Amino acid sequence: MSAPPDGPRVAGSRLVIGIDLGTTNSLAAVRAGAGATPHVLRDHDGEPLIPSFVCFEPDGRTLVGRAAKALRLDHPERTVFSIKRLIGRSFADAAEDARSLPYPIVGGERGLPRVRIGERDYSPEEISAHVLREVRRTAELALGQPVREVVVTVPAWFDDAQRQATKDAAGLAGLECVRILNEPTAAALAYGIDGERDGTVLVYDLGGGTFDVSVLRIEEGVFRVLSTAGDTHLGGDDFDALLGERILAALPEGARTAAAADPYVRQAVRRAAEGLKIRLTEASSAELELDLGARGTLSVAVTRAQFEAAISPLVQRTLDCVKRAVADAGLALDEIDDIVLVGGSTRIPLVRARLERLCGKPPHTHIDPDQAVALGAAIQADVLAGNDKSLLLLDVIPLSLGIETLGGAVQKLILRNSTIPTSVTEEFSTGVDGQTSVDLRIFQGERELARDCRQLGDFQLRGVPPMPAGLPRIAVTFLVDADGVLRVTAREQRTGVQAGIQVVPSFGLTRDEVRRMMLDSLEHAQADFRAREAIEQRGKAEAMVRGTRRALELAELPPDQTYAVHKAVKALDRLLTDDADADALRAGCEELTKLTSTIADDVISSAVTKALRAEQEGRA
């Protein structure tokens, strides 16, 4: 395996890479030491982006990335995407997003969302792990060395459950997540706002499924997040949905409802809407003819003005978040020194124009917004690897954390926009005489009542000595680590008894579930490897058959060589038809390779000969 063409192989130091686990696309990047330039890690085709798609084929194979995305019309109910919108959430919270997805979402144990494929249900963490494994594989092939430790980015607005679920997904993929990093902070690093000069930066991150805005203060190499705001239900997917509604509206009224309920049509509409959005970024109008197979075709024309009118309320929602974040930071809009863009949807002209009008200055556009987060994560990964000690990142938690008290109120222990890591201890007591255990419910949110906040988990404190009500002194400590993940401990102060806390997550996977999935992964590792090997070998064989047949059309070979090559092509094609195993396909490919080693030269020679012959005939 060779090093990537755009960066050095990382050697002689601890390797930690950065991963942007995105709603639409995912990718990895690396940096090798202070002063080095971070670069994205590309696959064998030179592509940096890995579509966050997973297809569970009916024959049991699992495809990830571009191969999976290509099958979303063939297997609309078995091709999963936008899973980031479900991770770490309850089924009730995810119900609105689930309705717009063509694959089935069902309620699982403890009210968690599950993706139903055939007779099996998958958690969002399991599906995200498939994507992360593909990112890891791409990184290892690009670097020529194993990858174990990673920094994974998440939206700043992700709460504790979503962050923990992301770490679980990394663990299921065989990766050690050394840090969960907020995407806006990573983006500021990527844009070269690296502490060389002090200032205030606003990061506007409009991805496929979420929107974040953060305000950072940079002073002498220290990145301090002053505030963050956002919306986990707003992103480019919502722009696509609006265009999708326009496409469906063009159908005859009687067919509209049936089409909207057809998974095939919904996948086709979603793909067409995404294409329209991309074209309207460059052109003033766009037209599509949507091939619905046996269902016919559909022609739709949309102007940029129509598209901008449709998305204007959504764009305004992002600008309202910008105003709130700047106000929370104690600043005025004209005190922002730099504006950086993250996410593919920031390419939309209306987004850039409205943001520039609001802030009074143009945003930076010199970095691909799809790559900014991964590049910044690579810089932070290099810092954590000990290769660069010039930077320090101080992030904040997005929402207040507290516990439910008598009457259903929420007592906040850690306030939003508190710098992390942080720890707060507060004393509580019992409400009933002789009480030996206390049930605590942990909430995250800004409202005063528990019913209006999001429950993160149930905590039971056992072993409290029986005393009159109000006498026990129970110290509850909330610790938010550098990843923004919450830990809770408790101690009865009067007796010194250390009480145990059993955490039962309301969202995400329990530790037992994570262990079971890890064991399943190890148990099936060899079979999974063989399945992947078969997929890759089959793809190689198919490409060789197509390429050789095309070459035979162009090359003028001796009859005996032509016969031998044709025979080998037919033999390999027969193996493909018979669904042969990887070993047989490999042998067939090797045989064909021996016979075609000089065909490329023959094709070029034939082309030159034909060109010279045509030129001579033209002169005659």
Give, in order, the Cα–Cα distances in Å from 160 to each of 165, 208, 216, 415. Answer: 9, 21, 21, 14
Paired strand residues for 409: 449
| Number of Cα atoms under 13 Å in the Cβ half of residue 265 | 18
69 annotated active-site: no
8 A C-beta contact, residue 128 and residue 169:
yes
What is the Cα–Cα distance from 199 to 407, expressed in whole angstroms? Answer: 45
Please count the residues of the chain.
620
DSSP string, 189-227: HHTT--SSS-EEEEEEEE-SS-EEEEEEEEETTEEEEEE
Per annotation, catalytic residue among 125, 126, 205, 240: 205
SS3 235: coil
Pairing mode, strands 285-291 and 297-303: antiparallel
- Signed CA dihedral, 347, 349, 354, 359: sign only: positive
Q: How many other CB atoms are there within 10 angstroms of residue 310's CB atom?
A: 15
* Structure-token pair, residue 359: 């802030």
- Angle between helix axes 236-249 and 304-328 (nearest 10 degrees) is 150
DSSP symbol at 510: -
What is the Cα–Cα distance from 567 to 559, expressed in whole angstroms? Answer: 12
Q: How many other CB atoms are there within 10 angstroms of residue 543's CB atom?
A: 11
20 annotated active-site: yes
From the number of C-beta atoms within 10 Å of its C-beta (0-12, 13-18, 19+), residue 455 rates as middle
What is the Cα–Cα distance from 620 to 609, expressed in whole angstroms? Answer: 17
Residue closest to 380 by CA, chosen among 219, 372, 497: 372
404 annotated active-site: no
What is the Cα–Cα distance from 306 to 132, expressed in whole angstroms? Answer: 37
Radius of gyration of the chain (CA): 28
617 annotated active-site: no
What is the Cα–Cα distance from 148 to 150, expressed in whole angstroms? Answer: 7
From the number of C-beta atoms within 10 Å of its C-beta (0-12, 13-18, 19+), residue 253 rates as exposed
Give, in order, the Cα–Cα distances in Å from 344 to each of 307, 341, 428, 476, 575. Answer: 16, 9, 47, 43, 42
Residue closest to 342 by CA, chosen among 321, 304, 371, 322: 371
Per annotation, catalytic residue among 126, 134, 168, 183: 183
Secondary element (H or E) of residue 447: none
| 489-495 LR contacts (CB < 8 Å, sep 24+) | 490/459, 490/461, 492/463, 492/464, 492/465, 493/427, 494/465, 494/467, 495/465
Per annotation, catalytic residue among 43, 69, 84, 237: 84
Catalytic residues: 20, 84, 183, 205
